[in-house]
Amino acid sequence: MKKKIIIVIAIIIVLGGGYAASQYFMPHRDIQSVEAFVEIDASQLVDEYLADNNVANEKYLDAEGESKVIIINGTIKSIDTDQNNQIVAVLKSNNDELGVSCTFTTASHENAASLKTGDVIKVKGVVRSGAEYDEDLELYEDAIIEKCDLVK
């Protein structure tokens, strides 16, 4: 009896490990090779999320909650690097306190290295979160776009 229990537990562990390995080694979605769902100005994206977060999420996320690929047009308000040494460019919006934060990948780092404040750019990426006002902190939060690269 103990031997059967040990065999069942071993089979469950092997199956669980196999599933975890398949998820871990699954290829990542290549954002730059996918056709963009929409091309939009940074101000329009911010305004849509501020007007109604749920409606904007329905528009920019698919049924599984995965972000659709979009192209954002805008003027660079600021450039910085994050803790992963990735370039982050914030695009201006109509609201002076808000923008669209675009994080470039390490693969697209070379394309973004020459960017400077005031440049007008097109960026292709996926929505991580929309712009919003945090009432507890009394702060606006930028819309966040990830896995970005420049569109030429």
* Superfamily of 31-150 according to CATH: Nucleic acid-binding proteins (2.40.50.140)
Is pLDDT larger for residue 32 or for residue 66? 66
What does the pLDDT look like over 46-74, one tens digit per residue? 999 999 989 998 898 887 778 889 999 99
- How many other C-beta atoms lie within 10 A of the C-beta of residue 144? 18
Q: Which of 62, 60, 78, 79 is nearest to 70 (CA)?
A: 60
Q: Does pLDDT of 128 surpass 90?
A: no
CA distances, 86 to each of 1, 6, 69, 75, 104 (Å):
56, 47, 20, 19, 6
Burial code (b: 16+ CB inside 10 Å, e: under 16) for 111-141 equals bbeebeeeeebebbbbbebbbbeeeeeeebb
| Distance linking the first and last C-alpha atoms of the chain | 67
pLDDT of residue 94: 84
Count Cβ atoms within 10 A of the Cβ of residue 59 and give its class: 0-12 exposed, 13-18 middle, 19 or more buried.
Answer: middle
- How many other C-beta atoms lie within 10 A of the C-beta of residue 96? 9
Q: If you average pLDDT over every residue of the chain, what do you get?
A: 87
Q: Where are the domains of the chain?
A: 31-150
Q: Work out the pLDDT band at 28, boundaries 50, 70, 90.
A: low
pTM metric for this prediction: 0.76
